Structure 1
Amino acid sequence: MAGKAKKKAPEKKGAAVSVESYKHKIVTFLRQNSKSTMPVAQLETKCRTKKNNRENFVTAFAELRDEGVITVRKGVKAALCSDLGLKVGEVTRLSRTFGFAVTDDGTEYFIPGKCMLGAMPGDRVLIADIASRTGEPEGEVEDILSFGSSALTGRIEKADGELYLVPDIAQRNHMIIVRDGSVPFAEGDKVLAEIVFRGRRHAEHKVKITSVFGSSELAASCAQAILNIHGAPGEFPAEALREAKKISEGGVQEFSLNNREDLRGLPIFTIDSAESKDLDDAVSVSRTDKGYLLGVHIADVSHYVKANSELDKEAMRRGTSIYYADQVIPMLPKELSNGICSLNPDEDRLTLTAFTELDSEGNILGYRFCKSVIRSRVKGVYSEINAILSGTADSSITEKYSSVADELPLMNELADVLIAKKQRRHAPELETTESKLIIGEDGICRDVQPRERGKSERIIEEFMLTANESAAKLAREKQVPFVYRIHETPPEEKTAALCEALTKAGIEYPHFQEFKPAHAAAILDNVRGSDKFEAVNMMVLRSMAKAKYSEEPLGHFGLVLEDYAHFTSPIRRYPDLAIHRIITDILAGYDKEWLNKRYSGFAVKAAETSTNAELRAVAIERECEDCYKAEYMKQHLGESFTAKISGVTEYGFYAELPNTVEGLVHIRTLPEGEYDYTEPVALTEKFSGVSYRLGDTVQVICAAVNVSDGTIDFNLDEEE
């Protein structure tokens, strides 16, 4: 009868109870139980398990345990994880004496090494809260729900006459190597291993060696291990290479110039580092009655790399080119990246152009995109153009740039206008120093230098930002699927931590209810030029959210822009290639409905895969750089250096040299005493009052180096 609930049909006598039914029963009985735990045997009886149906109960129980819904105490008592306050999370990283795990709700837990239960990165675990020493969430691993990857890298060391694996994570533990199934290895090798037995502590795990990369004392060998463990792409698939070769051999076809604007007569040229081979952006500037017309001409990679081709599938899988030391793992085969797509001088090249009209204050008056063909006048080099702008260029440099001599002052002028505009909208000027590794012919790092950033680098940065903003504006205006570059407002807990750190450091800051870019800019401006700037710059940087790709136009906090995308590097970034494809179809006249149907799912997938690929590339580049820096410092063991304290922890502080090399001064090497930790700014000896604070200058000695895991240990130079 309508409106009357139907009675649930009774289970037929002897009918099997399904796994899902058992899962429901188990949770219900545990929830109704007056105590927090119940013997498993009693729970089984309550569920009225029939002997011939016990298998489904066992399966249901196991699934609930794997899902982190229930747990077993002392091997015999079941309980709901929620009743015990347990949380499900994933181990994200391990250090020598501790680890971190992130729960499913996004909370990061610090886990002391003795509380890890042998868990490895990627493992799904149950976490119980324990008393925190810092106020931040701290926990212990109650149970391992599922194992992550069993692969890990490390070095072979000898102890008590036996060879062991010392992994790059949880480095203090010597893991037993099972000889059966292991490839040949020797003391000092950098290796890839696979865990074949899991213990309750890291030291109880057993491994077999699956690959040997070479000496762990060579950064090049360690880099190969890093690439392997992160799953960096290797050789291109044969079909993708065949496609690339065919495109390259075909050259720039005459018919490809049809329906393209011919810009070969304009003074267009590229500006890159001297070693760059994949030149994907060129620029031009002219003066107008209202201000300026900026042309940013980007390699039309989408003309060659068609949707769903083998090249396209491989490019999306790679997501980005990976640069480390003097090596590159390209997103596209060299026939494209260094060949037909590269905007080499004096060669016809197909491009997608963004023309942006700007007024005298740098405001965007309008923009226009078009398919084009260009012929770059010269391969510009940052250092050479910096010399021209500073008036220090010699005659050979002046002659090289004679065909674009009139454009350089105008470009410099426009860049100043755009920089002033950025300052007016209170974009925080965060400073990051990149490292330049000087690698010898033998592959060994011979020097580390801070990468210089002159005016020409700033010019190109401002021009690319403008083109990127114009591309995002176009997509928003047309209301079509797109891949945006977004940078969200910092999480409230991070801004609260920033304020607390600034207070402890004695640095004034503007009070706010909602953190805005202007507040970050004011904090930096208050200390710019002082000895505290580097420390505060790092504090603000760490408080920021991570930039990522999204199909939603959520804006860019750091740049203070509502519209932003990555448009300018389709040779080395997939999101740029993705939006080139969309813009091309906009220019071809396809309507909004068609574009939505074709690109909605594509934009979501491209954003997600590109973000993940970027995270992988950043991790690889950072870890490889650490190994090469350690290799360089090996040549300077025992030498004294002036450094600045770049980070403070409860176990010591990090000191950074002027060349960007960073090392740890461990608390056990400091003058004897009892030290209080004021997170995250200072270590202070209780009785003498001697303090080591973020931003302080210290004299250090390079005491130890480990190339294999990229770590450097400094000691204070007590003679200074």
Structure 2
Amino acid sequence: MKKQHKRKAVKNFKIKKTYRSGKSQNKHLTGVFSGNSRGFGFVTPDEDQPAGPDGMDIFIPANAVGDAFHRDRVEVRLTKAQKGSRPEGEVIRVLERGKTEIVGTYVRKKRGGWVFPEDTHYDRIIIVPVQDTNGAEDRDKVVVKIRDFGNRYENPVGRITEIIGHEGEVGADILTIARSMDIPMEFPERAIKQAERVSDHVIEGDLAGREDLRSWKMVTIDGPYAKDLDDAVSLTKTENGYILGVHIADVSNYVQENSALDREALKRGTSVYLADRVIPMLPERLSNGICSLNAGQDRLTLSVIMEMNQDAVVEKYRIVESVIRVDERMSYPDVQRILELSGKATEYRDTSNQEKDRSGEISEPERGGKNGIHVGDSNRDTTMSDEELLSRYADYISMFCDMLDLSLKIRQRRKMRGAIDFDFPEAKILLDENGVPTDVLLEKANDATRLIEDFMLTANETVAEEFSKKEIPFVYRVHGEPDPEKIERVLEFVRKQGVKIEKKKQFITPKEVQQVVESVKGTGVESMISIVLLRAMQQARYEPTCDGHFGLAAKYYCHFTSPIRRYPDLQIHRIIHDCIRDRMTPEKIQHYKEILEDVSRQSSMTERRAADCER
């Protein structure tokens, strides 16, 4: 029965002859195979085995893949390895399977059926014999466990272990995408139990050694429906400038290193924000509860308190363990309206940009119809009139105006040093009550969103500089210089569009990229040129070495401000606590040196996975 199914499915594929090359290099390497929907793939060699110039990946033609699947660890033989060109090879054998369960769409046949993988890295249909269909119906979204990986002549065979839902069913397609990318959907029982044991309020013992900032005037500013509130801000205007406080949820107080909660958080790496749901890094009891900086509640935090002069230069700062009590839970739309009504806003548009990694329901926009693309505000809070809004927050209006003044100065300083600002609107998919997409809304940044961004960036840079200069093991956010050849091709394209480019040296600087972006603002080619420049940039990543951030034109940078939803932030909070409490012993330093490379690699991988899923 099994062979009968295999032969029938293979008729749908063009079987090629075994790969042969003119001159074998007889060199064998090991690495991880990345598949492609067109049948070919690439092998990324293990770190100690560079395959060609600059350690380029090895190209594997479709007829040389053998029975390798995406993410398998394989042994390859080089067949072409000429200087200056990408090496080619063929898979000799699979050393370790990267994945044994595939998510896809089940198509019923006379005897059993086929599963078409959701992930386009897999190019082969999986055969499911009739006895292994597990009751799946035609066009169901399923999980299939592979029990025979087949070969270049025969398709893999598996059995269905889970039915996610039917094609077109509310939520089924989104769940299928998440499952196909191995994003964990449920928390392990041990992690849930640990979360349940955490107190839902701050206990007296946790206050020891903390600065009491509960009397400080401070607010959170987020999307109106966000529930995982990582950060609060405070600002005092002084004779010499400003005292800016950035207060971040102290998640590390509740998630102990190497606990079940911590292991699951590292596995997830980040919260994932989808059109109809959030897949959190931490259980909601923590992310929306004791860790969230909810107004009127005592909360444990790590605070960066920065004394800044009139030009927004940080002259002095302190990083302290603290306890706070947020006064008001503000939303971006409300703060923007207050700035507009106060005559302080830099632009008067009814727009808002809820950060892409903030959770929230989305309401129907005020303008625009169904099934279109519009620029608008998906989070506008219309429950208060302008007069009611100004009256409700009268005690905070001057602080918001001072915040905007400081934000503009910070942004100008960042611009002067060459930071690149790709101001792309963010697309939001609007769903009806049945989870069916009805509209796409383009949201643009405004003063309220920018001031929070500016304050978070300032805190991140301050913390990164502190620990880099101390030479303490740390996790940094790194963005490398673009590849010279790649950027040169892009610049040549840009020149052909009539854009003047000044590039003084071999390697382009952030300021030179910024000047190109500025020169095309408001023109018909702005979007196109911004996109090609962005694609020429390297992908930001996490590293245990402080190698700077090209896009921000920053020598020091890290992610410190979002420990509820990003693991690197949680990791460096532990390091900061150890330093504050004089626990950074030689043994602790060695411990961090041993783990931070793996933490950085895992965090970078899960960030890319989440971004792919959210797209």
Give the TM-score of the pair, scaled to structure 2.
0.80
Does residue 577 of structure 2 align to residue 584 of structure 1?
yes
Task: Work out the CA distance in 2 between the residues paired with 1:239 and 1:257.
Answer: 27
- Is the Cα–Cα contact under 8 Å of residues 277 and 342 in structure 1 kept in the other structure? yes
One-letter amino acid of the structure 2 residue matched with residue 453 of structure 1: A
Match of 1:227 in 2: 178
Shift of 1:295: 0.4
- Is the Cα–Cα contact under 8 Å of residues 265 and 282 in structure 2 kept in the other structure? yes
One-letter amino acid of the structure 2 residue matched with residue 325 of structure 1: A
Equivalent in 259, 277, 283 of residue 227 of structure 2: 277
- Is the Cα–Cα contact under 8 Å of residues 134 and 160 in structure 2 kept in the other structure? yes
Equivalent in 29, 32, 42 of residue 101 of structure 1: 42
- Is the Cα–Cα contact under 8 Å of residues 271 and 280 in structure 2 kept in the other structure? yes
Match of 1:694 in 2: none
Match of 2:382 in 1: none
Q: May I ask how many residue pairs the two structures share in their alignment?
A: 543
- After superposition, residues 47-126 of structure 1 pair within 5 angstroms as 82-83=25-26, 90-95=32-37, 97=38, 99-104=40-45, 105=50, 106-107=55-56, 119-123=68-72, 124=74, 125-126=76-77
Task: Work out the CA distance in 2 between the residues paired with 1:202 and 1:553.
Answer: 49
- After superposition, residues 598-613 of structure 1 pair within 5 angstroms as 598-613=591-606
Cα gap change, 1:119/1:592 in structure 2, threshold over 3 Å: closer, same or farther?
Answer: closer
Match of 1:326 in 2: 276
One-letter amino acid of the structure 2 residue matched with residue 464 of structure 1: M
Shift of 1:431: 2.9
Cα gap change, 1:333/1:87 in structure 2, threshold over 3 Å: closer, same or farther?
Answer: closer
Cα gap change, 1:161/1:322 in structure 2, threshold over 3 Å: closer, same or farther?
Answer: same
Task: Work out the CA distance in 1 between the residues paired with 2:498 and 2:58.
Answer: 28
Task: Work out the CA distance in 1 between the residues paired with 2:245 and 2:605.
Answer: 31
Equivalent in 256, 279, 296 of residue 306 of structure 1: 256
Shift of 1:83: 5.0
Shift of 1:262: 1.8
- Is the Cα–Cα contact under 8 Å of residues 191 and 261 in structure 2 kept in the other structure? yes
- For residues 118-162 of structure 1, the C-alpha deviation after alignment (integer angstroms, 9 at most, x for no partner) is 65322435565699xxx9859675655455424322223367998
Q: Percent identity?
A: 34
Task: Work out the CA distance in 2 between the residues paired with 1:202 and 1:543.
Answer: 39
Match of 1:315 in 2: 265
One-letter amino acid of the structure 2 residue matched with residue 610 of structure 1: S
- For residues 278-329 of structure 1, the C-alpha deviation after alignment (integer angstroms, 9 at most, x for no partner) is 1110001112333221100111112222233332233223222122113112
One-letter amino acid of the structure 2 residue matched with residue 451 of structure 1: E
SS of residue paired to 2:418: coil
- After superposition, residues 519-668 of structure 1 pair within 5 angstroms as 519-590=512-583, 593=586, 595-622=588-615
Shift of 1:205: 3.9
Match of 2:380 in 1: none
Equivalent in 466, 469, 484 of residue 476 of structure 2: 484
CA RMSD in angstroms comes to 3.3
Task: Work out the CA distance in 2 between the residues paired with 1:265 and 1:508.
Answer: 54
Match of 2:11 in 1: none
Match of 2:168 in 1: 217
Cα gap change, 1:445/1:279 in structure 2, threshold over 3 Å: closer, same or farther?
Answer: same
- Is the Cα–Cα contact under 8 Å of residues 468 and 568 in structure 1 kept in the other structure? yes
- Is the Cα–Cα contact under 8 Å of residues 67 and 149 in structure 2 kept in the other structure? yes
Using CA pairs below 8 Å that are at least 6 residues apart, which structure has the higher relative contact order? 2
SS of residue paired to 2:171: helix
One-letter amino acid of the structure 2 residue matched with residue 343 of structure 1: L
Cα gap change, 1:198/1:571 in structure 2, threshold over 3 Å: closer, same or farther?
Answer: closer
Task: Work out the CA distance in 1 between the residues paired with 2:33 and 2:571.
Answer: 33
- Is the Cα–Cα contact under 8 Å of residues 267 and 403 in structure 1 kept in the other structure? no
SS of residue paired to 2:132: coil
- After superposition, residues 36-55 of structure 1 pair within 5 angstroms as none
Cα gap change, 1:320/1:81 in structure 2, threshold over 3 Å: closer, same or farther?
Answer: farther
Give the TM-score of the pair, scaled to structure 1.
0.69
Match of 1:248 in 2: 199
Moved more, 377-386 or 156-165: 156-165
One-letter amino acid of the structure 1 residue matched with residue 56 of structure 2: T
SS of residue paired to 2:198: helix
- Is the Cα–Cα contact under 8 Å of residues 484 and 566 in structure 1 kept in the other structure? yes
Match of 2:3 in 1: none
One-letter amino acid of the structure 2 residue matched with residue 443 of structure 1: G
Cα gap change, 1:533/1:113 in structure 2, threshold over 3 Å: closer, same or farther?
Answer: farther
- Is the Cα–Cα contact under 8 Å of residues 198 and 204 in structure 1 kept in the other structure? yes
Shift of 1:440: 2.7
Task: Work out the CA distance in 1 between the residues paired with 2:222 and 2:517.
Answer: 29
- After superposition, residues 417-436 of structure 1 pair within 5 angstroms as 417-436=409-428
Q: Which has the higher Rg, Structure 1 or Structure 2?
A: 1
Does residue 388 of structure 2 align to residue 396 of structure 1?
yes
Match of 1:373 in 2: 323
Task: Work out the CA distance in 1 between the residues paired with 2:535 and 2:394.
Answer: 44
Task: Work out the CA distance in 1 between the residues paired with 2:554 and 2:266.
Answer: 27
- For residues 638-673 of structure 1, the C-alpha deviation after alignment (integer angstroms, 9 at most, x for no partner) is xxxxxxxxxxxxxxxxxxxxxxxxxxxxxxxxxxxx
Structure 1 unaligned residues grouped into runs of 5+: 1-72, 623-720
Cα gap change, 1:525/1:141 in structure 2, threshold over 3 Å: closer, same or farther?
Answer: farther
Task: Work out the CA distance in 1 between the residues paired with 2:71 and 2:202.
Answer: 47
- Is the Cα–Cα contact under 8 Å of residues 199 and 290 in structure 2 kept in the other structure? yes
- Is the Cα–Cα contact under 8 Å of residues 87 and 128 in structure 1 kept in the other structure? no
- Is the Cα–Cα contact under 8 Å of residues 126 and 145 in structure 1 kept in the other structure? no
Equivalent in 429, 437, 449 of residue 445 of structure 1: 437
Cα gap change, 1:399/1:101 in structure 2, threshold over 3 Å: closer, same or farther?
Answer: farther
Does residue 447 of structure 2 align to residue 455 of structure 1?
yes
Task: Work out the CA distance in 1 between the residues paired with 2:221 and 2:418.
Answer: 28
Structure 2 unaligned residues grouped into runs of 5+: 1-16, 342-347, 349-384
Match of 1:41 in 2: none
Task: Work out the CA distance in 1 between the residues paired with 2:18 and 2:287.
Answer: 59
- Is the Cα–Cα contact under 8 Å of residues 127 and 142 in structure 1 kept in the other structure? no
